[in-house]
A = this chain, B = another copy of it.
Amino acid sequence: MSSALEINNATHPVVEQRYSMIDSGLPEALLHAIHSKPCNRDAGTIIKLEGELSASVFVVLSGWVALNKALPDGEKQILDFMLPGEVIDPGSADPLVSAVEVEAVTEVKLAIIPRESWEQLLHAHASIRTAHERITAAGQARMSERLLRLGKANAQVRIAYALLELCLRLKTGSTSDGEKFHLPFTQQQLGDFTGLSSVHVCRTLRRLKRHGIVETEDHMDVLIRDIEALAGVAQVNVDELRNQIIPNHRINE
């Protein structure tokens, strides 16, 4: 099945374009706006507080960023991770008030773009607007998948889904057994992302390992041994999921 697809693709090549704000080929206007003031932050830095004034959007140029939200009692939830090429608009119903906390997970490089410049960019360049709309829709689809699992799925499903989602987002193109990637955060943070305690993240990973589905080593280097089994546990179809959460564009010809 997978080989049939590959043969098919070889015969009828697929032009695949990954939408991203920092892909080559974007209008100079964006590149200019971005490169005019790239901004570096160390791992762990809070870039923006929840409720703070939010007059700019951020484009992630390199590194991982987390969008967090906390209850008054201190419990913190990671709403989403943002990867290079993605756009962070922290605004809420009041565009000037941030609904989330923005945190550098690793050392990051950001473009900070004032909201007005950003609006102008979107207005002037249809390609940027399209890319942004795809990326936003992809982000919402991911949020929906996670909301569903937080509401209705157990720990195994949540962890399996999180690993799969992050794998798909990190690896462009098709995915197969043996995919290997590094998650630049702790099991505690994986728990904050999946709504589980760090202890139970550990228990759950152990189970996935014992079943030969994944392996981990050296602080969150993940190896997916059996991606179909992982998708089975996560209750998704890998190809459908990729299509819904990864802002790619395929033209068969």
Contact = CB atoms under 8 A, between A and B. Distances in A.
A14 interface: no
A245 interface: yes
A28 interface: no
Given A100-B144, A145-B69, A245 B150 contact: no
A189 to B, nearest CB: 13
Interface in A141-181: 141, 143-153, 157
Contact of A93 (B93, B152, B157, B248): B248
Interface string A83-122: 0000001011111010110000000000000000000000
Nearest to A95: B137
Most buried by B among A94, A153, A244: A94
B146 A147 contact: yes
Nearest to A94: B243
A147 B77 contact: yes
A93 B140 CA distance: 9
A101 B75 CA distance: 31
B76 A152 contact: yes
Contacts of A71: 148-149, 152-153, 157, 235
Contact of A245 (B93, B133, B243): B93
Counting chain A residues whose Cβ lies within 8 A of the other chain, the interface size class is: 35 or more
A137 B77 contact: no
A153 B70 CA distance: 10
Nearest to A150: B150
Contact of A144 (B79, B141, B151, B153): B79
A218 interface: no
Nearest to A240: B51
A243 B147 contact: no
A134 interface: yes
Contacts of A147: 69, 77, 79, 143, 146-147, 150
Contact of A195 (B79, B97, B151, B243): B151
A196 B132 CA distance: 35
B138 A93 contact: yes
A138 B99 CA distance: 9
